[in-house]
Structure 1
Amino acid sequence: MGVKFKDITNPEPIEMKELEGKILTVDASNVIYKFLSSMRQTDGTPLRDLNGHITSHLNGIMFQTSTLIEKDIKPVYVFDGKAPDLKKETQEERINIKKESEKKYLEAKEVGDVVAARKYAARTTHLNKEIIKSSKKLLDLMGIPYVQARTEGEAQASYMVSQNDAWAVVSQDYDCLQFGATRMIRNLKLSKSNSKNLELISLEKTLKELNLTREQLVDVAMLVGTDFNKGVYGIGAKKGIKLIHKYGTLEKALESLNETMEVDAELIREIFLNPNVVHNYTIEFKRPKKSQLLDFLCGEHDFDEKRTISAIKKLQAKTAQSSLEDWF
């Protein structure tokens, strides 16, 4: 979910063409979750093969990623590791929401309300070990690099951008700014009708416009509420900025409000400002393994062979070089 910073950022519109030749880190959990939520039958059931295995995520990864590659946009997927202990409460809340949505989905399905059934079914989406495992296998066969994060995938993806190993993070969550991503891309979709909504947010520009340091931005986030703390009731992003401008730090702002935090602020600062990330990752784009891709997608998961071959051709056309250096 991330921090609610929409009202204080000033994104710039950007065209897909401007992303050509650029490496983008992709929050894998975020993207795969969207594939699982949106790629469903009319009654809300996810796409499945003849053996009942869910394939919505494989469909999204294969066909949308191959289209990005065809456009000379180079995605690197970053997978979540173990979430920080402070995120436990947020995770429990999300589980409860999914349980409630599951109940409403079954009720809607029973009375034949297809629209409601699909809406609530999308909210029951969750990632499991099998979905992550099959996603990584598919990326390997496609020749698309991925990195396994130690903790938050967004932290790892943002770190790679901050080190200039990628140009921007693809994510919907503003947490990337707190994690230090110099650029983030929102609303990356492949249909022409949605290309107008593509947005670029610059960390440097955002901090300058808000007259904040990154450390102060993190303090504002804690006032508003993050995945690791609830925040102060009634404090939104704009009010949080005013408080930090006036008092300088979170602690002084809380004192002025006669409020306290239920968790140690330093622990949250550490998560955002000094995240536990992998430093020795490798980014290498390889040729797709055509025969193995066909066996995996068409043989094991009943994908349409003609459409799959078309996607493989897109991958082959842009991955003739074997290493990252050849892309520059």
Structure 2
Amino acid sequence: MGVQGFLPQLKSIQNPVSLNRYSGQTLAIDGYAWLHRASCSCAHDLVLGNPTDKYLQFFIKKLAMLKSYGIKPYFVFDGDSLPVKKDTEVKRRNKRVENREVAIRLYNSGEVRNSMDYFQKCVDVTPEMAKCVMDYCQIHHIDYIVAPFEADAQMVYLEKQNIVQGIISEDSDLLIFGCRRLITKLNDFGECIEICKDDFNKLPKKFPLHELSEEGIKTMVCLSGCDYTNGIPRIGLVKAIKLVHQYRNIDKILLSIRRDGKFQIPETFLQEYHKAVIAFEYQRVFCPISEKIVTLNDIPMEVIESMNKTYDNEQFFACIGLVIDKETSKKLCIIDEDKIDHEIHRKIAYGQLNPYNFEKRLVNRERYLQIASKSEIVGQGGILSAKNNSTKSIDLFFTKVASNKENSSVKRRPIVRSGGIVDKLTETIKKRKLCHSINSISSLSKSGDSTLTKSRFFSTNADIADTLEEIIDTQSSDTKVPKNFWL
């Protein structure tokens, strides 16, 4: 995530601060970054498709901390993926699949502790998980928005419009998009690191970032490699900034590299470079004021004309994101904003529609699993059986039993008094010679005589049933999330 090695180069301007500094301000928060951190505590359940609210509890805890400092949060979640970032997404997806196979293999072989590391590496944060957080935010009147594409561009746009006064994220890409105040390394004590764009002039001479233009900074990260391009092999940020500072122009930079002969330029690099610069500069975002799709920065007409000479419209607009056409309801390359279906994009932005497939409603993950689990419960003559192949937590088991008990449409079959435990008790008494006649004990148990001596090591079926009911009542009431939250 981000530009490798970029933050270490900015170490001299990384200021340790407290959240007290931002009291009374609104800060944008990278929602998916927090979801990734929150998923570590429940990775096993997320990968296996088990219900869990632990990632929501992470948000609740962090929100309480922000509130104690008088900070207003503004969550921004990722939307659809950009075609220009396809290679990066494919690599990450393949790595998750590989780690998932290892995690399940270790788990099934009994190496539970070792498997947990791989479960954490293969978690895929989904829009359905984000929807769970959105529902909580909506109930508690906390601002949030789903970006048309990447949250980075959306958060920088909110900062440009002064809707937020800073951005909480671990992604260094934000500084390339134009972020002016980046807040990173936030811990549970309200301590964090602040990086301000205005401090670029304080960087050491070997990394004179303040002497580069906005385009020059983008050229530098493209040469060394970022999410949009792998860059040129063996060229790091220090070498890249020297080349940009010396030649200023990408064509002159590439000519110098070819003459030097020390580095091999990939055939597709120049095309990747142009697409990356456009994605950094003009990516599609959603304006919460006008409630319309716009671009991070206005696209000058000369840029469009210049790109049209090199690439067709589809290639160009794929870099900044395709939008939904009013007439066809399909994602197309559209220049005229009047042809964009802003209403559908508004519903995506507010979490009503799935950003990957706008024809589907976005459903809360936990609510979906709750509905799915209810549909899997089959009632036949009052006997309930849950068809589920995955391992469920004991809390989930008790929750299901309690919910079934409260459902008046399902009648429970009376508990049948089995002689199994009595038989075991009889055998034990026989061995210990504590009774003259086994038959007398059996007859007493059937008649329900209260004079029967009870062992403190054994219980009747009725006692077990009563104990289970008490456990169910205790488990179903012990939760931090409101009981009706998932309803």
Task: Give the TM-score normalised by the residue count of structure 2.
Answer: 0.54
Question: Residues 266-323 of structure 1, C-alpha deviation per residue, up to 9 Å, x if partnerless?
Answer: 321121122211223499xxxxxxxxxxxx9xx99979767458xxxxxxxxxxxxxx
Residue pair 1:207, 1:213 contacting (<8 A) in 2 also = no
Q: Which residue pairs with 1:315 in the alignment?
A: none
- The DSSP-based 3-state class of the residue aligned with 1:278 is strand
In 2, Cα distance between the equivalents of 1:54 and 1:92?
27
Q: Does 1:26 align with 2:29?
A: yes
Deviation, 1:7, is 2.6
Residue pair 1:47, 1:56 contacting (<8 A) in 2 also = no
Q: Which amino acid is the alignment partner of residue 97 of structure 1?
A: K
Q: Which residue pairs with 2:320 in the alignment?
A: none
Structure 2, unpaired ranges of 5+: 204-208, 259-264, 292-366, 372-395, 400-475, 483-487
Residue pair 2:46, 2:123 contacting (<8 A) in 1 also = no
In 2, Cα distance between the equivalents of 1:150 and 1:176?
16
Deviation, 1:66, is 2.5
Structure 1, unpaired ranges of 5+: 284-295, 310-328
Q: 1:91 aligns with which of 77, 89, 113?
A: 89
Q: Which amino acid is the alignment partner of residue 19 of structure 2?
A: M
In 1, Cα distance between the equivalents of 2:477 and 2:168?
29
Q: Which residue pairs with 2:357 in the alignment?
A: none
Instruction: Percent identity, please.
Output: 24
Deviation, 1:29, is 1.4
Deviation, 1:140, is 0.5
Q: Pick closer, same or farther for the CA change 1:276–1:124 going to 2, 3 Å.
A: same
Structural RMSD (CA): 2.8
Q: Which residue pairs with 2:60 in the alignment?
A: 62
In 2, Cα distance between the equivalents of 1:18 and 1:244?
36
Q: Pick closer, same or farther for the CA change 1:305–1:163 going to 2, 3 Å.
A: farther
In 2, Cα distance between the equivalents of 1:148 and 1:199?
26
Q: Pick closer, same or farther for the CA change 1:29–1:141 going to 2, 3 Å.
A: same
In 2, Cα distance between the equivalents of 1:250 and 1:26?
34
In 1, Cα distance between the equivalents of 2:289 and 2:41?
31
Q: Pick closer, same or farther for the CA change 1:74–1:46 going to 2, 3 Å.
A: farther
Question: Residues 94-143 of structure 1, C-alpha deviation per residue, up to 9 Å, x if partnerless?
Answer: 01110111122123323443442221111111122321222211111121
Q: Does 1:74 align with 2:77?
A: no
Deviation, 1:262, is 5.6
1:259-278 → structure 2 map (5 Å cutoff): 259-260=265-266, 261=269, 263-278=271-286
Q: Does 1:9 align with 2:10?
A: yes
Q: Which residue pairs with 2:226 in the alignment?
A: 226
Deviation, 1:264, is 4.0
208-217 or 165-174, larger mean C-alpha shift: 208-217
Residue pair 1:45, 1:118 contacting (<8 A) in 2 also = yes
1:1-328 → structure 2 map (5 Å cutoff): 1-4=1-4, 5-10=6-11, 11-36=14-39, 38-40=40-42, 45-46=44-45, 52-190=50-188, 192=189, 195=190, 198-206=192-200, 209=203, 210=209, 211-258=211-258, 259-260=265-266, 261=269, 263-281=271-289, 307-308=480-481
Q: Which amino acid is the alignment partner of residue 69 of structure 1?
A: K
Deviation, 1:162, is 2.3
**Structure showing greater relative contact order (alpha-carbon pairs closer than 8 Å, 6 or more residues apart):** 1
In 2, Cα distance between the equivalents of 1:304 and 1:62?
19
Residue pair 1:102, 1:120 contacting (<8 A) in 2 also = yes
Residue pair 2:85, 2:227 contacting (<8 A) in 1 also = yes
Task: Give the TM-score normalised by the residue count of structure 1.
Answer: 0.78
Deviation, 1:87, is 0.7
In 2, Cα distance between the equivalents of 1:253 and 1:115?
50
Deviation, 1:245, is 1.1
Q: Larger radius of gyration, structure 1 or 2? A: 2
Residue pair 1:223, 1:250 contacting (<8 A) in 2 also = no
Residue pair 1:24, 1:169 contacting (<8 A) in 2 also = yes
Q: Pick closer, same or farther for the CA change 1:93–1:183 going to 2, 3 Å.
A: same
In 2, Cα distance between the equivalents of 1:52 and 1:91?
25
Residue pair 1:220, 1:250 contacting (<8 A) in 2 also = no
Q: Which amino acid is the alignment partner of residue 204 of structure 1?
A: D
